[in-house]
Amino acid sequence: MIQLSEYSTDPTESIEKEEAEEIRLKDLNKIVELQTRLFASKKKSLLIVLQGVDAAGKDGTVKKLFAGLNPLGCTCQAWKAPTSEELSHDFLWRIHKSVPAKGWTQIFNRSQYEDILVPYVKGSLHKEKLHSRLDAIRFFENFLVEENDTQILKFFLHISKKEQKKRIEERMQDPTKNWKFDPSDLEAHEKFHEYQNAYEFIFNHSKDSLPWEIIPADKKWYRDYLITKAVKKCLEKMDLSYPELDSSLGLPSLSE
The residue range among 8-16, 70-78, 100-108, 198-206 that interacts with its own copies, by the rule CB under 8 A, is: 100-108
Nearest CA among 134, 88, 89 for reference residue 111: 134
DSSP 8-state assignment for residue 68: T
> Which segment (13-21, 69-77, 96-104, 157-165) binds its own copies by CB under 8 A?
96-104
Query: Does position 85 bind its own copies by CB under 8 A?
Result: yes
In this structure, the number of other CB atoms found within 10 A of the CB of residue 117 comes to: 20
Give the shortest CB-88-to-its own copies separation in angstroms.
4
Regarding 255 and contact with its own copies (CB under 8 A), the answer is no
Are 111 and 73 in contact by the 8 Å Cβ rule? The answer is no
Q: What three-state secondary structure class fits 6? A: helix
Residue of the chain from 92, 210, 230, 238 that contacts its own copies (CB under 8 A): 92
Q: Please, which residues have CB within 8 angstroms of residue 222's CB and are 6 or more apart in sequence?
A: 10, 12, 15, 17, 20, 216
- Choose the stretch contacting its own copies; rule: CB under 8 A; options: 10-18, 82-90, 206-214, 218-226: 82-90
Shortest reach from residue 11's CB to its own copies, in Å: 38
Which residues lie below 8 Å from residue 182, measured CB to CB, with a gap of 6+?
A: none
Query: Where in 42-61 is the site for its own copies (CB under 8 A)?
Result: 42
Which is nearer to its own copies, 128 or 190 (by Cβ)?
128
Binding of residue 17 to its own copies (CB under 8 A): no
Q: State how far the Cα of 22 lies from the Cα of 190, in Å rounded to an integer.
A: 37
Binding mask 172-211 for its own copies (x = CB under 8 A): ----------------------------------------
Q: Does 101 bind its own copies (CB under 8 A)?
A: yes
From edge to edge, which strands make up the β-sheet containing 74-78?
74-78, 105-109, 45-52, 150-158, 212-216
For residue 223, give the nearest of 213, 211, 215 by alpha carbon: 215
Tell me which of 90, 174, 182, 236 binds its own copies, using CB under 8 A.
Answer: 90
Applying CB under 8 A, what is the total number of residues that bind its own copies?
Answer: 23
